Structures are given as structure tokens and as C-alpha cells.
Amino acid sequence: MIGLFVRDAAGLRPRAGIDVPPLVPAVETRASLVPLAVPEASAQWARWWDRALTRHEGPDRGFPAPESGFGDGEELGVLVRECFADAVRWSSARGREYAEAMMRGGRRGHEGDLVRAVETELGRKARPFELHVLELPVAGAVGWCVSEKRVVVSRALREDTAAYRRWLTPVIRKLA
């Protein structure tokens, strides 16, 4: 989320493999960062984003720490350093919101229920499979298949039980 915060705060317009919408709540573009949002920083951000999404597939799961993960160009590094503390605060607040929502409403998503529904539809138990769902606080009810084992969904999609079920069921069906 720190990388997404940097993207939005600097007003970067990267061309990444998966182009996610702006963050929610919105991160305002900062006038002080706009002069630093050069085309090289956008290209570096897109490379980082594409690597970060596929990083989950290998042994080093999780997003890389910003001090190591944004290391392919000085232009992006400058932007990260300029707003890192604010990005951490923003990201931490979203983490607290997510944890509070989980405590209040139980588990969102109901992936296990979807697997059972697909098993009923297929008339058999699902084959063992692994699926990682990465939820991001971005605008709109949207989702992307990053790979066979990884999907990225917006918080809004995951909170809309019917829409999430329609979107995720074909993914689970293919794995089962």
C-alpha cells in the first residue's frame, strides 16, 4: 500500500501490467511531489508493481520492504523518501480499519463457502489447490487474476458478497 500511496500522492501515471484504480480513501496529489513525478519515476514504479505482484509466487512472499523494493531507480526512491512517513501512517490506518471490520463482521469473502458450492456443482470434492486473495482499498468493485494462484480484489468487490461470488466462482471452478 505504500507504493500505491506514493503513486497517488505524486500523481504518477504508470503503465503497469495491472492498472489499479486510485486508493480509497483518496490520497490527494501533493504539489511538492509533482515536480519529482518524472516519466522515469512512473516507469520505475510500474516495474516495481509488476514485480511486487508476482513476488507472491516465489519463496519470498509478501511485498518487498520499500527500502529494498523500490531500488531500481533513484527517481522513484526520491518520491518514496519524501512521503514515506505519511504513506506508513495511511497504510497503518487502513490495516486498523480492516482489522476492525473483521472483528465486527466476521470473515468477509467466504471463499470456503464458494469452494463448497463449486464442489456441489461438480459433484465431487475439489482437488487440493492454493489461492491467495490480496485485497486492496482501491476505487470500484474490481478484481484481477494475477496468476493461477493469486487474485487481487478491491475491498468494495470483496464486501459485495453477490458480486464477489460471481467474480470468484469461475476462478475456484478452474482450480477445483
C-alpha–C-alpha distance, residues 152 and 46, integer Å = 16
Percent of all residues in the chain with a pLDDT value above 90, rounded to a whole number: 77
pLDDT value of position 98: 86
Instruction: Note the pLDDT tens digit of each residue in 48-58.
Output: 999 888 875 55
pLDDT for 55 equals: 73
Whether 117 and 168 map to the same domain: the answer is yes
Q: Which of 86, 105, 124 is the last residue of a domain?
A: 105
Residue 52 shares a structural domain with residue 80: yes
Domain boundary among 48, 74, 105: 105
| Rounded CA Rg of the chain | 18
On whether both 18 and 75 belong to a single domain, the answer is: yes
Q: Pick the last residue of a domain from 105, 128, 161.
A: 105
Range of weakest confidence among 12-26, 90-104, 131-145: 90-104
Question: Is there a single domain that holds both residue 116 and residue 101?
Answer: no
Q: Are residues 101 and 160 in the same domain?
A: no
pLDDT at 56: 55
| Structural domain containing residue 89 | 2-105
Cα–Cα distance for residue pair 155/171, rounded to 1 Å: 18
Q: How many folded domains does the chain comprise? A: 2
pTM of the model: 0.86
- Which carries the bigger pLDDT value, residue 39 or residue 62? 39
| Per-residue pLDDT at 109 | 57
Q: Which amino acid is at 58?
A: G
So what's the pLDDT on residue 71? 60
Looking at the structure, tell me whether residues 52 and 89 fall in a common domain: yes
Instruction: Tell the residue number behind the cell numbers 506508513, with chain if given.
Output: 88
Both 88 and 152 in one domain: the answer is no
Could you read off the pLDDT of 45-101 as tens digits, one per residue?
Answer: 999 999 888 875 554 444 454 455 566 789 999 999 999 999 999 999 999 998 888
| Mean pLDDT value across residues 151-160 | 94
